[in-house]
Structure 1
Amino acid sequence: MSKFNRPRASTRTALTVTHQGGKAYVRDARWELVLLAVVNMAGEDTFYESAKERDDRYADLVHTVAVEDGAWTARFVGWLRDEAQMRSASLVAAAHAVWARLAEGRHGGNRAIVSAACRRADEPGEFLAYWTSAFGRAVPKPVKRGLADAVRRLYTERALLKYDTDSHGFRFGDVLELTHAAPDPDKPWQGDLFRHALDRRHGRGDRIPATLPTVRARAELLAVPAEERARLLARPDGPRALARAGMTWEALAGWLQGPMDAAAWEAVLPSMGLMAQLRNLRNFDRAGLSDEAVRPVLDRLRDPSQIARSRQFPYRFLSAYRAAPSLRWAHALEQALAAATANVPALPGRTLLLVDASGSMQGTVSARSTVTHADVGALFGAVLAHRGAQVEMYGFASGHFRHELTPGGSVLRDVEAFRARLGEVGYGTETVAALRAAYDGHDRVVIVSDMQALHHPGTGARGVSVSEAVPASVPVFGVNTSGYAPSALDTSRPNRFEIGGFSDKLFTMMALLAEGETARMPWEPE
């Protein structure tokens, strides 16, 4: 859906308080940017920040870091888009980075920053939509050239059919006219594709070159009379006809001009990507698809290589589990989740896991999700336990509770059981009290939280910090799900680390830290 159209330990000073009044620390700009970027659903309100406040803070951080180091910024934007899977955040970062660099006279490397943010064919248009809304209609040459690089890489027949629609302010033809992108010489069909995209934009796309067979097949389907379309799907070659025409399920629903019944879903299902299938499990059940008809979906969810290629956030499988009314999906979703979290380290020894269940953590991770920040924490803990780690998991807010995990059982059911207990602990964030009550000689502590702890009294004027609540020799990992500016965790101290994000790369980062890798971030050269 269109929105706009290691980590290294940082130096902190105890100069501030959290949003709840607890002792807090400010990060350096680079690490604050990283922690915000990996959780930033651009343009959305959060518990403690409005969308404008959050977006302005993000832009300011990007400006600071990009002017300091353009090469680092280009690598970071590419990692943010490709590995952390933060689509909107990477586009916004790239736009503000280039704008700030040009304003300061930094002219080298900007083209690469723009290109790094675009990994899907609708994103050059998304980038232009954001750029013109934020900075005006003038588009500098580095932006045009970076987008032209992306266009040559991404524009295909199927992309044209899927994304070049009237619902987008910048159509493919608009992007081509603005960037003056030349076709890739290694793609002899691309010149005809570009010309056809321009013709479509200007209402003269009736003549389709023979070099564009998918576009021609779509035109043939559109020419079929409406009353004959359902019968076409029922033919043995119906699914193949849809596949040849690059027909998505959304396009099929419009083409049919009627309900998506079982026959329609069965015809388009082989052409659907895993993300589309995952989001439609409920619709498959409602339409009455048989177990045999959905077997390819189940097989796909069980295939680790398919899950790796799909690049889904692990919590998306939890969301699908909640949405699907039929239990036939449960085991396959469990297997998919296991594949999506394969990077979770099997930590030796005993791990104390505290999951923040306060009011701010019970908000959803995005406006379109049903999964909360507390769910992400429970998912993290259950996965650790199912990797064979000795995990003692507590939920905490104003109080705390021990939540028993079931190694070898269902991660998804464990998360649902944890969710059912959130009302036991109130809504404050008494992190230090929970740590002092639960810590009992563990080998490490993992805290999943937005790091906005309440004040805990002590001898100092600002009270006791989270970093001071366990022995200095014990590693403490803060898994930050929100990226707010003040943090209760002081990572200038030894054995104190803060990471963030929703993808499996969060677990990769934790594994690096657990092995003592603190010298560089994942996108930095060795």
Structure 2
Amino acid sequence: MSKFNKRRSGAPSALTATHEGGTAYVRDTRSELVLLAVVHMVGEDTFYESAADRDNRFADLVHTVAVEDGAWTARFVAWLRDDAQLRSASLVAAAHAVWARLAEGRHGDNRAIVAAACRRADEPGEFLAYWTATFGRAVPKPVKRGLADAVRRLYTEKALLKYDTDGHAFRFADVLELTHAAPDPDKPWQGELFRHALDRRHGRGEHVPEALPTVRARAALMALPEAERASVVTGACGPGILARAGMTWEALAGWLQGPMDAAAWEAVLPSMGLMAQLRNLRNLDRAGISDQAAAQVIDRLTDPEQIARSRQFPYRFLSAYRAAPSLRWAHALEQALAASTANVPALPGRTLLLVDTSASMRGTVSARSKVTHADIGALVGATLAQRGEQVDMFGFASGHFRHELPAGGAVLKAIEAFCARLGEVGHGTETVAALRAAYEGHDRVVLVSDMQAFRHPGGEALGVSVSEAVPASVPLFGVNTTGYAPSALDPSRPNRFEIGGFSDKLFTMMELLAGGESARRPWEK
């Protein structure tokens, strides 16, 4: 008997209770894995679940599904990393999937699962660090081969300069030596890059080959006396010099050995990625960059194609809006948020939208973020409300309140206005009561919550369920922000659907709202 297959994938929903005692259901294994994975910040406590319990549940789900179907798992890991943009969750999923499959004697697909989790040049090293810390120093061949595939795809000069640092347990050379990765024959410079990575790891990196111009340019900058460095930044050619040397803003700050003033920021801005610019809006204002320089950032934030390529979580724009001390960015951030949620479907007819504001929704999505689950709910709600024909938006906890959203208004301001009301209706989660009070013949209901409803009196031993709170003929869509094992929504019933996530792919999956039919998972098409 398999030691990992503890539950049958595809089993019908089982009646249980939420963490607050309300009627709840346990999903089939794949559905539980997907819903947890798209909101899983590895190593993070949540309101009802410790980091250890949550990580262990995630690993157990991965073990079961991976042993059953390696090809499905490989496609899912690729989607989780590429589309859902969950770096840590996809890496951990891949590692546990391959470990479980090898323990059960399952071969094939393992190499592809490992490679699918690595989409940035520091991730092969991250994978090895996680593998050896979790499963021991022995690294199986499928892991080595999958990492070697990733290395050939990802290792570049700029990646070497950015990620190959003493702070990493596995540097580029360590990964190369362990995986025996050969350079990509279509990249003639990669052989020199691999050799140089080995040389610099072992103290032989003084000579930089001609085939590595970016590394050579960085070496030339590092050789400059400190007294001459500021003049490079302020010179007319400064931005070009920094770009050719692959200089990030963090590297520039260290190189200057002093504060990043306006001139330093303006010199490095053209070569910064959009995510780095977004996270530094406050620093740019504090340094006093010119309006001309700020326009470079604004132009990127207002370019839908660049927003799409940046793959930012929509809530990053909310976080930047709150962090930036001036209003010079507000309109651009509003446009960026609109571009990042452009695939939200139009909602014909009347829509009832309920956003959970209970105590469990007021925790942050991760220890490093100030954005809460209630913020996510408000963002989803305000965005849907702007796209729908007629949307009635309510917040609820122990009670409920109606929140008016002006048609065509700014979403960021609407989110802030909603979040200012979080304390109006207590701390509980009276989901059924709120649904029954607010529903008035709507064409659909959207519920944004962690799905941990309190018990509602009447009916069954556990009380009336959320799924029964509106007529069975009315589509009820649950947007789950946390992915706990029990859910107040029963997705096995007709017209009851549950999705989750933080990326723009949440809205892609919400396309089912328009038609009222369950969509196949993207990696299953």
TM-score between both structures, scaled by the size of structure 2 = 0.97
On the 8 A contact 1:388/1:407 being kept in 2, the answer is no
- 1:12-51 equivalent positions in 2, closer than 5 A: 12-51=12-51
- 1:286-325 equivalent positions in 2, closer than 5 A: 286-325=286-325
1:249 is matched with 249
1:216 is matched with 216
The offset of 1:10, in angstroms, is: 6.3
Once the two structures are aligned, what percentage of the paired residues are identical? 82
The offset of 1:73, in angstroms, is: 0.1
- 1:173-212 equivalent positions in 2, closer than 5 A: 173-212=173-212
Q: Deviations over 1:436-489 (max 9, x none)?
A: 000000000000000000000112111100000000000000000000000000
1:371 is matched with 371
Structure 2 residue 523 is matched with structure 1 residue 523: yes
The one-letter amino acid paired with 1:274 is L
1:110 is matched with 110
The offset of 1:515, in angstroms, is: 2.6
The one-letter amino acid paired with 1:317 is F
The offset of 1:521, in angstroms, is: 1.2
On the 8 A contact 1:350/1:442 being kept in 2, the answer is yes
Give me the whole-angstrom Cα distance separating, in 1, the residues matched to 2:27 and 2:200: 49
Mean CA deviation greater in 516-525 or 309-318? 516-525
Give me the whole-angstrom Cα distance separating, in 1, the residues matched to 2:245 and 2:262: 20
On the 8 A contact 1:14/1:23 being kept in 2, the answer is no
Change (3 A) 1:417 1:513: closer
The one-letter amino acid paired with 2:76 is F
Give me the whole-angstrom Cα distance separating, in 2, the residues matched to 1:383 and 1:459: 35
Give me the whole-angstrom Cα distance separating, in 2, the residues matched to 1:471 and 1:38: 29
Moved over 2 A (4+): 9-15, 512-520
1:92 is matched with 92
On the 8 A contact 2:512/2:519 being kept in 1, the answer is no
Structure 2 residue 471 is matched with structure 1 residue 479: no
2:359 is matched with 359
Q: Deviations over 1:63-84 (max 9, x none)?
A: 0000000000000000000001
On the 8 A contact 1:11/1:28 being kept in 2, the answer is yes
Q: Find the residue that maps to 2:209 and give its secondary structure.
A: coil
2:232 is matched with 232
2:456 is matched with 456
1:350 is matched with 350
Q: Find the residue that maps to 1:108 and give its secondary structure.
A: coil
On the 8 A contact 2:362/2:373 being kept in 1, the answer is yes
Give me the whole-angstrom Cα distance separating, in 2, the residues matched to 1:77 and 1:286: 40
Give me the whole-angstrom Cα distance separating, in 2, the residues matched to 1:489 and 1:360: 17
The one-letter amino acid paired with 1:240 is G
The offset of 1:514, in angstroms, is: 3.6
On the 8 A contact 1:279/1:320 being kept in 2, the answer is yes
The offset of 1:388, in angstroms, is: 4.2
On the 8 A contact 2:17/2:486 being kept in 1, the answer is yes
The one-letter amino acid paired with 2:205 is G
On the 8 A contact 2:304/2:336 being kept in 1, the answer is yes
2:3 is matched with none
1:57 is matched with 57
The offset of 1:507, in angstroms, is: 1.1
On the 8 A contact 1:397/1:425 being kept in 2, the answer is yes
Structure 2 residue 83 is matched with structure 1 residue 83: yes
The one-letter amino acid paired with 1:259 is P
1:280 is matched with 280
Give me the whole-angstrom Cα distance separating, in 1, the residues matched to 2:203 and 2:443: 67
1:399 is matched with 399
Mean CA deviation greater in 115-124 or 363-372? 363-372
Q: Find the residue that maps to 1:370 and give its secondary structure.
A: coil
Give me the whole-angstrom Cα distance separating, in 1, the residues matched to 2:350 and 2:368: 36
Give me the whole-angstrom Cα distance separating, in 2, the residues matched to 1:111 and 1:465: 44
The one-letter amino acid paired with 2:512 is L
On the 8 A contact 1:396/1:434 being kept in 2, the answer is yes
- How large is the RMSD of aligned CA atoms in angstroms? 1.1
Give me the whole-angstrom Cα distance separating, in 2, the residues matched to 1:486 and 1:24: 6
1:6 is matched with none
Give me the whole-angstrom Cα distance separating, in 2, the residues matched to 1:517 and 1:14: 22
1:413 is matched with 413
The offset of 1:520, in angstroms, is: 2.4
Q: Deviations over 1:217-251 (max 9, x none)?
A: 00000001011111111111111100000000000
Give me the whole-angstrom Cα distance separating, in 2, the residues matched to 1:159 and 1:390: 48
Give me the whole-angstrom Cα distance separating, in 2, the residues matched to 1:387 and 1:15: 35
Give me the whole-angstrom Cα distance separating, in 1, the residues matched to 2:301 and 2:230: 29
On the 8 A contact 1:126/1:170 being kept in 2, the answer is yes
1:258 is matched with 258
Give me the whole-angstrom Cα distance separating, in 2, the residues matched to 1:454 and 1:263: 56
The offset of 1:516, in angstroms, is: 4.9
Q: Find the residue that maps to 1:45 and give its secondary structure.
A: coil
Q: Find the residue that maps to 2:195 and give its secondary structure.
A: helix
Give me the whole-angstrom Cα distance separating, in 1, the residues matched to 2:514 and 2:304: 25
1:4 is matched with none
On the 8 A contact 1:354/1:396 being kept in 2, the answer is yes
Give me the whole-angstrom Cα distance separating, in 1, the residues matched to 2:141 and 2:474: 52
Q: Find the residue that maps to 1:328 and give its secondary structure.
A: coil
Aligned residues: 517
On the 8 A contact 2:495/2:516 being kept in 1, the answer is no
The offset of 1:517, in angstroms, is: 4.8
Change (3 A) 1:357 1:12: farther
1:430 is matched with 430
Give me the whole-angstrom Cα distance separating, in 2, the residues matched to 1:368 and 1:406: 32
The one-letter amino acid paired with 1:321 is Y
On the 8 A contact 1:12/1:491 being kept in 2, the answer is no
On the 8 A contact 2:14/2:27 being kept in 1, the answer is no
Give me the whole-angstrom Cα distance separating, in 2, the residues matched to 1:231 and 1:264: 10
On the 8 A contact 1:11/1:492 being kept in 2, the answer is no
On the 8 A contact 2:302/2:332 being kept in 1, the answer is yes
Structure 2 residue ranges without an equivalent (≥5) = 1-8
TM-score between both structures, scaled by the size of structure 1 = 0.97
The offset of 1:262, in angstroms, is: 0.4
The one-letter amino acid paired with 2:145 is R
On the 8 A contact 1:451/1:480 being kept in 2, the answer is yes
Give me the whole-angstrom Cα distance separating, in 2, the residues matched to 1:26 and 1:88: 25
Change (3 A) 1:14 1:457: farther
On the 8 A contact 1:445/1:475 being kept in 2, the answer is yes
Give me the whole-angstrom Cα distance separating, in 1, the residues matched to 2:369 and 2:362: 12
1:270 is matched with 270
1:440 is matched with 440
The offset of 1:278, in angstroms, is: 0.1
The one-letter amino acid paired with 1:203 is G
The one-letter amino acid paired with 2:392 is E
On the 8 A contact 1:10/1:491 being kept in 2, the answer is no
Change (3 A) 1:259 1:519: closer
Give me the whole-angstrom Cα distance separating, in 2, the residues matched to 1:134 and 1:177: 21
Q: Find the residue that maps to 1:349 and give its secondary structure.
A: strand
On the 8 A contact 2:29/2:61 being kept in 1, the answer is yes
